[in-house]
Amino acid sequence: MDLEQLTGLTVYPRSMVEVDGTAYFLAQSDGGGKRLGVLGDATGFEGTRYDQRGALLCPLTPTNAAALRACLPWLRPVPLGLRTSAGFGDRLGLATPGHVRAVRQFSSIAPIFAQQSVRENARTGRTPQQVLDDATWGLFQEGWRDPWGADADHLKTPANVDAFVTAGYTLYTVDPGDHVDNDAHTALSAEVEAKVQALPWGALEDTAQDMERRYLGRPFDLGETALTFDREVLWRAAAKYGHAIAHTVRMYRHLAGRMGDQAFELEVSVDETETPTSPAEHLFIASELRRLGVRWVSLAPRFVGRFEKGVDYIGDLETFAAEFTQHVAVARALGPYKLSLHSGSDKFSIYPIVARLAKGLAHLKTAGTSYLEALRAVAQVTPALFREILAFARERYDTDRATYHVSAQLTNIPAPDTLSDADLPGLLEQFDARQVLHVTFGSVLDRFGDRLLATLRRHEEVYYALLEAHFQRHLAAFAEEQCPGGEMSVYELFAVEGK
């Protein structure tokens, strides 16, 4: 049957699928609106029958997204285990087809197509359900059939968890960064002593004396290397991360209680802190979480160097490689689990290092870089709108940068009216412009959201092509390394069983 002739709409060919005698497809009208088509048993779907014999045409609503996931099980996210993985944040809800086209070329990489933090949702005005549904429609449009994940990113409180559980997410990233005591890194010994004595020992199910007995006077074998703790290193690690560990345990137990028998995975993130996580501190965090019954699939330390938003790694590559080697050793010895690169977008100089050393135990997390590619598309097809966005972003930068690690200087960005239309896309390659545009996304969406989304919908193939090329660069190095084969780790096993 010719669906386009039947409906008068343009059908996305990769979306067409038939299951148990019912056909499903995604179509677009001349005005740019998209509709789900159901030809056959349309129980559970809400829409308008085209004619007595034709397809039910359905708006892209949460109800219809849930009904489609019930009929097409590959559209439901699942735990991904220890496979090399990459997360694709999508602040606009339009990027998934471009992400899919990039990932299709790297079969060894497990994708997380729905990924959004609580902070990003607050700034975009989207809900966890909307993020998951937008990914669903993008996957359906592109005909994706392989396993994929959904990441509830940077969860800071138990109250943050529930909406993501209801929506059906499978990876939960707990961020205890607000509970990390950065002052312990350089505090005087007496101050460190006081901080340790004040730790919530009841919540940690521990005492300072028992902690010392576990760590002091013994080497921790990490394969080709070993780590040892003297009293100062141990107490500074405890003072710095003790409250964060207790908070992570509370979050994990709340999450496990909410998930019940549903399969899920946990990521632990201590990356958004002022000071790097040393390999010894990483070992301390992992050992304590393991002692307290927490099971996780990936962990994000605060690596040495600077992981600023939207730009390449800033720091000495040899120093990074030397420390990352030790972090990998800890992750293998106490897991294995994956090491997660947060603020991982555009860190092209370290991708080969991470891929070579991690040997598959890596997760790359990206977010704002897809938004920047949207702005690149706008600069190409509607230069006047991009000029307005750039001028406004320059005004908002000093305010909006407050919660981000960035160092862009407005004086390094040319004024919009000094550039030709042909020069505008090139700003997306300039350090300062990238960061200014990156961190002002919430304000820009408040002011220009409707116009921005309408432009991208009219020129969606331009946007998809830019995303595909951009993420090919991100994923190429990781695709060369396969995850070590064999049995599940204890962490993966517990995650898959939902324990």
DSSP, res 482: P
Residue 12 to residue 172: CA distance in whole angstroms = 32
Using alpha carbons, select from 132, 116, 135 the residue that is nearest to residue 124: 116
Active site residue 153: yes
Q: Which residue has the tokens 């969860």?
A: 155
Residue 120 to residue 369: CA distance in whole angstroms = 13
What DSSP string runs through 22-83? Answer: EEEEEEE-TTS-EEEEEES--TT---EESSSSSPEEE---HHHHHHHHHH-GGGS----TTS
Residue 26 to residue 134: CA distance in whole angstroms = 13
Active site residue 267: yes
Q: How many residues in the chain?
A: 499
Catalytic residue among 90, 120, 153, 492: 153
Cis bond upstream, residue 414 (ω within 30):
no
Q: 468, 270 in Cβ contact below 8 A?
A: no
What DSSP string runs through 96-121? Answer: HHHHHHHHTT-TTSEEEEEEEEHHHH
Residues 6 or more apart whose Cβ sits within 8 Å of residue 218: 228
Residue 209 to residue 173: CA distance in whole angstroms = 31
Catalytic residue among 267, 272, 346, 468: 267
Counting other chains too, the contacts that 311-314 makes at CB distance below 8 Å and 24 or more residues apart are 311/346, 311/431, 311/434, 311/435, 312/346, 312/347, 312/348, 312/349, 313/347, 313/349, 313/350
Six token digits for residue 191: 């101050």
Q: Which residue has the tokens 């193939």?
A: 461
For the annotated catalytic residues, the residue numbers are 153, 267
